[in-house]
Amino acid sequence: MDSATSDPALRPTARTPLSSTADNGLKIVIVGGFGVGKTTMVRSVSDIRPLNTEETMTRAGETIDDLSRVRDKTSTTVAFDFGRITLNERTILYLFGAPGQERFWFLWDRLFSGTLGAVVLVDTRRLADSWYAIDRLEHHGTPFIVARNDFGGPAHSAEEVREALDLSDDVPLVECDARSRNSSKFVLISLVEHLRGLAEAREGIR
Amino acid sequence: MSPPRNENPDRLYTVTGGRSRSTSDAFDLVTLVVSECEPTAGMQSEHAAILRLCRYPTAVVEIAADLGMPVGIVKILLGDLLDTGRITARHPQTARRSAQLPDTSILEQVLVGLRNL
């Protein structure tokens, strides 16, 4: 790993490969406004240095039909960061840092499909940056929790944050420091416990 | 947002032989790809690069990052290799239909794994 450099061409050799038994990739998406700490959180818990990749899509949310249209303004390239955590010999969890800005709406459905759930990372100084993300998640039916990244600003009560985000009572709100591995791990555990609660409730209804 | 890298449209057009849509949605971002053979002489360089990368299971999104190509293009290249039996694909076992939650046994596994970090 010490040989890792910033040269992308050297990345493949700098990363520990997965076990040959790995056969189930899972996804969690971390969403939030610019500069809220998405990549920091991915980096804190990832087994690998976060990687970056791109998807080229049209406004209609489809991959491009005709590459000549790449030049067309109706298609856009979106970059996103991701990391991974090996959970056991078969199961690998991928964490995606997704841009929360409205102009990337066409990326969302693609990323969300098949995800376990999402973490909405918020900066209490800029709560409005999260409205759109929360709206999209609710619309898509993707379960999520809200994690308040501590930027050392004035303290807001949980009630104030809930009210500002118009958050329903059943959505967990947790505090975190995205720079801390333990804190970021706690956020992911909180999300998965929430998902388990939802799944158990659903199985109970059946 | 990073600036675009190797995605000169003309180059991508060449890499995929003019195709731009994979034949099916066979690959998720986290589908794990495994090579079933070594690269051979004369093989398209991107195909050869994928076969080298995937000696151990490698997610579609990691292949895209390593090749510096958009995910959509990589899926087309993977489709070629899958159709000719040069790779196998291990698909996510939780693929949710609509808004269905994964079953609790998978979530338990995830919790155990996260707590052991």
Nearest-by-CA chain A residue for B67: A9
- Kindly state whether residue B3 falls inside one of the protein's structural domains: no
pLDDT at position A204, please?
A: 77
pLDDT at B89 over 70: yes
Residues of B in contact with A45 (CB under 8 A): 117
Give the DSSP H or E segment for A108.
helix A105-112
Q: Closest chain B residue to A137 measured between Cα atoms?
A: B99
Q: A203 — contact with chain B (CB < 8 Å)?
A: yes
Q: How does residue A61 score in pLDDT terms, banded at 50, 70 and 90? A: very low
Query: Which H or E element spans position A98?
Result: strand A91-99
Residues 51-80 of B with CB under 8 A from A: 53, 55-59, 61-62, 64-66, 68-73, 75
Q: How many CB atoms lie within 10 A of CB A2?
A: 5
* Interface with B, mutate which of A10, A13, A24 (most B CBs under 10 A): A24
Whether pLDDT at B57 is above 80 = yes
According to the model, what pLDDT value does residue B10 have?
Answer: 67
pLDDT tens string B9-39: 666 767 777 776 555 468 999 999 999 999 9
Q: Mean pLDDT throughout A173-189?
A: 97
* ipTM (interface predicted TM): 0.85
How many Cα atoms occupy the beta-carbon half-sphere of B17 within 13 Å? 8
Contact A137, B115 (CB under 8 A): no
Q: What domains can be seen in chain A, in order of their start residue?
A: 8-205 (3.40.50.300)
Q: Would you state the torsion angle of the CA atoms of residues A12, A13, A16, A19, taken in this order, to the nearest 10 degrees?
A: 80
Give me the residues paired with residue A81 across strands.
Answer: A52, A97
Listed by number, the residues of chain B in 14-43 with a beta carbon closer than 8 Å to a beta carbon of chain A are 16, 18, 20-22, 28-32, 34
Q: Tell me, yes or no, whether B17 lies in a domain.
A: yes
CB atoms A24 and B112 under 8 Å? no
Residues in chain A: 206
* Interatomic CA distance for residues A202 and A81, integer angstroms: 32
Asked if residue B65 belongs to a domain, the reply is yes
Q: A14 and chain B: CB distance < 8 Å anywhere?
A: no
Total domain count, chain B: 1
Alpha-carbon distance A192 to nearest alpha carbon in chain B (angstroms)? 7
Residue B62 has pLDDT above 90, yes or no: yes
Domain that holds residue B62: 9-115
- Mean pLDDT over A57-68 rounds to 50
pTM of the model: 0.85
For residue A103 the two structure tokens come to 């102009």
**pLDDT band at residue A106 under the 50/70/90 scheme:** low
Residue B64 placed within a domain: yes
Q: Which helix H or strand E contains A49, and what residues bound it?
A: none
The reply to whether residue A27 touches residue B92, judged by beta carbons under 8 angstroms, is yes
**For the domain that residue B21 is a member of, what is the CATH number?**
1.10.10
